[in-house]
Chain A
Amino acid sequence: MVTRMETGPGQVTVYLSGELDHHAARPLREQIDGIAERCGAKKLRLDFEGVPFMDSSGIGLIMGRYRMMCALGGELQVTGMSERLRSIMRLGGLERLPIFPQQKGEHNETDQ
C-alpha cells in the first residue's frame, strides 16, 4: 500500500506500507507506476520503512521499477529497509545495484 508521497524538484518519494507479497505487489506496482508517470520525475525513491515483510515478489517489484527508471533515463532509490529485507535483497546479488543511497554513518574511503 502507498501511504504517502512527497514530491520535490525532479524527484518523488513513495512511502510503502504493509506486507509486500505477490498479492500486494500488483496493485502496488500500478500505484507506483501511476505516480511516477504523473510526476514525470527523473528520480523515484521508494521508502520501505513501513514494510515489515517482503518476499521475492518484492524483489521483482523493485527490479521492474529499476528497469523502468533506467529506460526513462532516470534513477531509482530504495530507502528504509530493515536488515531482514536487505538480507533478501542480498540473496540475488541486488545489494550491488546502485539503488541504495549511502546511509548516515557510512563513509567513503576518502572522507574518514
Chain B
Amino acid sequence: MKPINELRLEFPSRSANEGFARTAVASFLAQLDPAVDEMADVRTAVSEAVTNCIVHAYPDRIGPVIVQVRLYRNGRVIIRVKDRGCGIPDVEKAMEPLFTTGGEERSGLGFSVMESFTDRLKVTSRVGKGTTVTMEKYIAVRQP
C-alpha cells in the first residue's frame, strides 16, 4: 500500500535534537487531527527511540539519525527511527523491562514505553551496522 504522505528527517546525534525530533513528528501528524493523548503517545515514543540512538548507538561519536514517518489510510502511521551505530547484540534481552547498559542514570524502560504507547514495535539490529526501530500507531479517525 502506498503512503498518502511521508516525512523524512536526518540529523546528527546531538541531544539538542531530541526535542526537535519529537516536535517535528508531532507537527507532521497534526494533519490527522489526533487526540491529545495520541499526540502525547507519539511524542514520547519518538523521544525514546531517538534518545537511544544518541545515548547508545553512538556512545562516543556523533552519527546520523534518520526518522521516517509514513501516513496511510484509516489513520495508520508507521514511524521508523534508524541509526548506523554499534547495533544491539541481543535484541530480545535489550527489550526486557529494566534492562540497561546505560548505567546508574538510565532506567532501562525506553522500549517498554515505546511498546505501551504504540500499537506495534519491531526492532531489528546488526552489531556494527546499526539499529532500526519501527513503530505502528493507529490514530482514531474522528467523525465530524
Contacts and interface: CB of A to CB of B under 8 A. Distances in A.
Contacts of A63: 107
Given A19-B19, A53-B43, A91 B51 contact: no
Interface residues of B, number: 25
B109 A22 contact: no
A92 B112 contact: yes
Given A55-B51, A59-B109, A22 B116 contact: no
B47 A29 contact: no
Interface residues of A, number: 20
Given A22-B18, A23-B19, A25-B105, A88 B54 contact: no
A63 B100 CA distance: 14
Contacts of A84: 37, 40
Contacts, number: 62
B45 to A, nearest CB: 9
B97 interface: yes
A88 B141 CA distance: 25
Contacts of A53: 40, 43-44, 47
A31 B37 CA distance: 31
Nearest to B100: A60
Interface string A83-106: 010001001100000000000000
A23 B104 contact: no
A8 B55 CA distance: 37
